[in-house]
Each structure stands twice: as structure tokens, then as C-alpha cells.
Chains A and B, each alone.
Chain A
Amino acid sequence: MAIEIPRIELGDWIESGLNYLTTNYSGVTRGISAVTQTGINGLNDLLMWIPEWGLMGLIALLCWRAAGIRLGIGAILGLALIWNLDLWDPMIESLTLVVIATLVAVVIAIPVGIAAALSERLYRVIMPVLDFMQTMPAFVYLIPAIPFFGIGSVSAIFATVIFSMPPAIRFTTLGIRQVPKDLIEAADAFGSTPSQKLFKVQLPLSLPTVMAGINQTIMLALSMVVIAAMIGADGLGNEVWRAIQRLRPGDGFEAGIAVVILAMLLDRLTQSFRKTRKS
């Protein structure tokens, strides 16, 4: 006689949990949604308002000052290509989403990372959660985003923040834990309070590591923002998505190349911040 093992209705439970949240906290989610949307629109309008050549110049200048003349020239060439391919507006939309998602992710991640570094118990709770967040396939996060925030950019930001946050937390924790023990002792020996120790010793010394984490967060945010086209986020991902639906591989590749250019610029730029801090 076969033993019937009842199926565990994990999916059902998660769904009813989500339902409960959406119906009972709709005020909260609507509030978040409104604030986020305002931020997105504001930044997007600002970046669109600057003429293409002007923004190109600004970005190139920033790249030059931060990382040298080669990146400056690279920025001009890359951005000019995007402009030429008529992908400027989607590029700006993607950039906006990346910037906002990264800001939110970092604002949450750094305090959490600090807390996890200072409390052994919190560390043991948070690390497996981060593993879970990172191993979950990226677009699974899109699903709960929709009932909370509907189709569109706010959902994209929500999913992106969750997906891109772990490295910033992890590296912040790592950076603080890596501060040599004798420096902590020195700070203690002179009678530093915990917050003096944090702001005068631990954080400054972990800054290069924190910056490495932020760099990774930006890269993950960019990849997620592209995927988020599936739930109606504007930007380069949307171009790729449309090309797929219309079976136009050429258009798809053009948008793909624009993503690569944006990724390289963001990567080099944040890495250069990291290096200048370190030296």
C-alpha cells in the first residue's frame, strides 16, 4: 500500500501571505509607490532636460577627472554611439532606474551591514538571508512586486533593490570586520564611545571595501533593470523585449550594446572612486 504524502502547499501559503499584505497594507504600498514614482519622474525629467551633448560632456568630464583621460574619451565615444542609434532616451530611463534603485539599496544596505558587523547574532541571521536573496532567480522578484506596486517602474525599482542589495550589505559587514583588531583596541584604550569608534575608525577604514560592494550593487541593479522590462519598466530592457517580440535581432543587439556601454561606464567610474579612496 502506497503511503500518501500530502503535497506541501508552499506556493499557496506564499500567495495568501502576499494577498494579506497587499490588502491590509495597500496604504503603505501606495505611499511608497507615489514617492518612488515622483523620484523617478523628477530625475528622468532632469536628465532629459539637459541636451544630449551637454550630458555627454558632463559624464565625460566626470570620467576624466575620476579615472583619467582614456575613460573620458571612452565615455564620449560610447555615449555618441548610443545617441546615434536613437537609444538615448531609453538609456536615460535605464540610468534613472539604476541610480534610484542603487540609492535606495545603499541607504538600506549600509546600516544593515554595519549592524551585522557589530552584532554576532544579527550576522548569523542576515548572512543566510543574503545567500537566499542572491541565489533566487532574478525574475522571481518581479512576481511579488506586481501585486504590491502594479505594472511599471516602481515595481522594477522594488525588485531591483531587493536583488542588488546583498553585495552592499555583505561588503559593508566584511569591511568593518576586517578592521585590524589592534586599531579597535587602540580606539577603545583611549576611551572612544561605540559611535566614535564607528565613525572615526571602522567606517573610514572599511570605505574601500564598502565601495567595492556598491560597485557590485550597481552592476546587479543594471542587469535587473533590463530584466524588469518584463513587468513594464521603461528603458533599454524594453527595447530588447520589443525586438524579441517582433523578431528583430538587429534592434535587440543594438540595445544590448547600449547596455554594455552603460555598464562599462558605471563600473569603471565606481571602481575609480574606490581606488582614489584607497590610496
Chain B
Amino acid sequence: MSETRPVKIQVRGLSKVFGNQPKKALELRDQGQKRPEILEQTGQTLGLSNIDFDVYEGELLVIMGLSGSGKSTLIRCLNRLIDTTEGEIIIDGENIPTLSTKELLECRRRHFSMVFQNFALFPHRTVQQNAEYGLEIRGVDKAERTETARNALKQVGLDGWEDALPSQLSGGMQQRVGLARALANDSSVLLMDEAFSALDPLIRKDMQQELLELQHRMKKTTVFITHDLDEALNIGDRIILLKDGEIVQIGTPEQILTAPADEYVERFIEGVDMSRILTARHAMRPVRATAREDDGPRTALRKMSENGLDSIYVTSRDRKLVGLIDADSADKAVKEGQQSIQSLIHQNFRSVAPDEPLHNLFAMFSDKSFPIAVVDEERRLLGVVVKGAVLAELAEAGDN
């Protein structure tokens, strides 16, 4: 399915050598030598070697790898903060490595905005002025950029902080400013280099959640770097695994967990065995909203949109699970003027007991899957399990 999606960025044969004799290093690479040997023989660091991948329009692509694997180098090659040694990076028909200085400026302004690990906010500018930066340098007029930046700040929950200086904010809030600065720019691709790595674990989880929601709302193409498996599984539509400057695997979180390409990936995901010990109860989340049998389609639809849901479980008065309705069908029913949701309720979902092993849940998620309902013996709805949660739970258990 993914092969047919529109491609935003196409990376082909990308290599980067740090040092003054890149040719020599690449020659050795072509003879089959790896990074450590090349460094020893030539003093050149093979930062990236022969990288091929696509970034699809609207996806959240995670690049993961250990320290030194080349993640930062790769993301900086995309907007040419680092010059590439060879290869193509094509965005909307333009090949980034061959752009002139002027074209490159234009390309960065239109296509890329970036969020940094240590925030990189301008300390002499207020929160508002930071958020405006990208627009300001593009010459957008004052009124418009104030408005746009204000909206971006609102998106990340920072309204009221416009006049504060970055140094007056906590780490989490500073990174929200970083995110707002990137969003205000309205570029077509968002680059995030370990954007949440400097945050406390709890705040980090929050930010991941918010990024997911933002991304769901705005469908912004995002390249996200992390060295953390939990984070990658939690937010990634697809994950690229890097090792010593080379790609070891590209795939969805499920593919990476169920079919690790080699030992390196396996070691990364050792936690997967935990799926036999963990149960649905561990990965279950409280139900944010349910519909009643006697609700009208309009009410059901409102509950969904208020909670950011695509579908909603219907329960009877004693909280027993009756079925599921989708936003699409509710929407249609509203338009057709139907008064009841009875006819919309379907049973096209899975339900499990709380002690169901996690690895069984795993197989239940199809491509377009509804959250799995967790019910007790009397079919009372206890919670739901979403796809990301299973993976994150596994990864976390693996760490401990």
C-alpha cells in the first residue's frame, strides 16, 4: 500500500564523508570496507554511506539509531546544513545538493523548518519574536506574521506567554516555542532532531502525544530523529534504523518488531519477548468518550470531534458494550437527517479480556484498525488498546 503514496522527498545514493579526501574514503567503501577501517586507513569518517529512502507526503518518519550512527548528519543533509559528498535529495523536483546558494535559501524557506535537541531559541528575542523568525526573514509583513505566530503559539498551548523571554520558561515550554517557531513558518516538511530528548520523561510523553495530535490534524510531513525505541514506536508511521552510517531496516513499527532485519535490530527490540508476559490490561487506556444507544448521530459526532476520535464505542446504560460507530457513517446520517444511531452500530471490531496476552493483540491490528475493546465477563467496557500503545508498552518493558 505504501508504495503508491505520493513521495515528498526522495533520497538516493546519499553519502557523506567528513574529512578532506572524500574520494579515497568512498573508493574504500566501494571495495567493501566499513567505517572503522576507512577511518583507520584514511583518517576520514564515513558519516553516511549509500542511503536510499523516500519520505511520503504527510507521514511521520522516524530515523532511529545509536549515538554516532549518523542521524544528525542525515537530517542536516536534507536541508543542507551539512553538504553532501554524493547522492541526490529530491524535493518537489529540485535536487538539493546541486542548488545554488540563492536557490538553497529559497528552498529552505519554503520546504524546511527545524526543531533542535537543545531548543536553539534566540535568547534575545521574546517567545513571540522567536515564533515570528522564519516569517520575518521571508519579509512577511508585520501584521500577518504577528497573527500567524500567535496562532502557532496557541496550537502548542503557549498563549499568554508571547512577551516572555525563553530563559523564563521551563524546558518543555521552551521546546513548545521551538515547535511553534517551526509551525509558524508553514514549510512543507518538519525536521526534528532529537527534539524531545532533553526533556523529562513525563513531559516527553506529553510532547509525543501532542506531536501525534498535531500531526494528525495538520498532516505535516515530519522527519523525526531519536535514539529511543519507545519514542520511535509510539509516534512513527515508519521507522528507519541506522547503524554506522548505513540503513539496516526500513519499516512500520510492526514490521520492525515482528521481522527484525538482523541481529542489530533484534538487540534493539529485545523487549519483544515481553509480549508473552504482558497482557491487554498493561496497554489499556481509559475510554475517552462513549455514545449511548439513544444518542442521535449529531451527539455521537460531536463527542467524537471533541475527543479527536474517528470512531466511538456505544454502551448501554449499565456500561455494557453494544457496538461501534464510525465518524463517516455518523456524518452521513446527520446529513440525511436520521434521528437514531441504532442502524449505524456495527460489530466490526475486536474485543478481548483484560488478561489477553499482548502478542495476541498484536495480530489483531489490521491496516485500518479500530482500537481493541477490553471488556470484563459481563461485557462492560473497561478500556481500549490502540496500536501504538502495544508497541510502546513492549519497548518499555524491554528496557527494564
With the chains together, A196 CA to B109 CA distance in Å? 13
CB distance from A35 to the nearest CB of B (A): 36
Among residues 184 to 240 in chain A, which have CB atoms less than 8 Å away from a CB atom of chain B?
A: 185-193, 196, 200-201, 204-205
Contact indicator A191/B138 (Cβ below 8 Å): yes
Contact indicator B137/A192 (Cβ below 8 Å): yes
Q: Is the interface of B mostly helix, strand, loop or mixed?
A: mixed
Interface size class of B (residues with CB under 8 A): 20 to 34
Contact indicator A186/B120 (Cβ below 8 Å): yes
Give chain B residues whose Cβ lies under 8 Å from the Cβ of A187. 133
Contact indicator B81/A190 (Cβ below 8 Å): no
- Assess whether A143 is interfacial by the CB under 8 Å rule: no
CB distance from A200 to the nearest CB of B (A): 7
- Assess whether A77 is interfacial by the CB under 8 Å rule: no
Smallest CB-CB separation from A204: which chain B residue?
Answer: B124
- Assess whether B84 is interfacial by the CB under 8 Å rule: no
Interface size class of A (residues with CB under 8 A): 10 to 19
Smallest CB-CB separation from B134: which chain A residue?
Answer: A190
- Assess whether B116 is interfacial by the CB under 8 Å rule: yes
Contact indicator B105/A189 (Cβ below 8 Å): no
Contact indicator A190/B185 (Cβ below 8 Å): yes
Contact indicator B134/A182 (Cβ below 8 Å): no
With the chains together, A188 CA to B79 CA distance in Å? 9
- Assess whether A183 is interfacial by the CB under 8 Å rule: yes
Among residues 99 to 136 in chain B, which have CB atoms less than 8 Å away from a CB atom of chain A?
A: 105-109, 112-114, 116, 118, 120-124, 133-134, 136
Q: Is the interface of A mostly helix, strand, loop or mixed?
A: helix
Among residues 159 to 188 in chain A, which have CB atoms less than 8 Å away from a CB atom of chain B?
A: 180, 182-183, 185-188
With the chains together, A187 CA to B118 CA distance in Å? 14
Give chain B residues whose Cβ lies under 8 Å from the Cβ of A204. 124
Interface residues of B (CB under 8 A from A): 79, 81, 105-109, 112-114, 116, 118, 120-124, 133-134, 136-138, 185, 191
Closest 7 CB pairs of A and B: A191-B109, A191-B108, A186-B120, A189-B114, A182-B120, A190-B134, A191-B105
**Further pairs besides A183-B120, A193-B105: 11, Cβ < 8 Å:** A182-B116, A182-B118, A186-B122, A190-B108, A190-B113, A190-B133, A191-B109, A191-B138, A192-B137, A196-B137, A200-B136
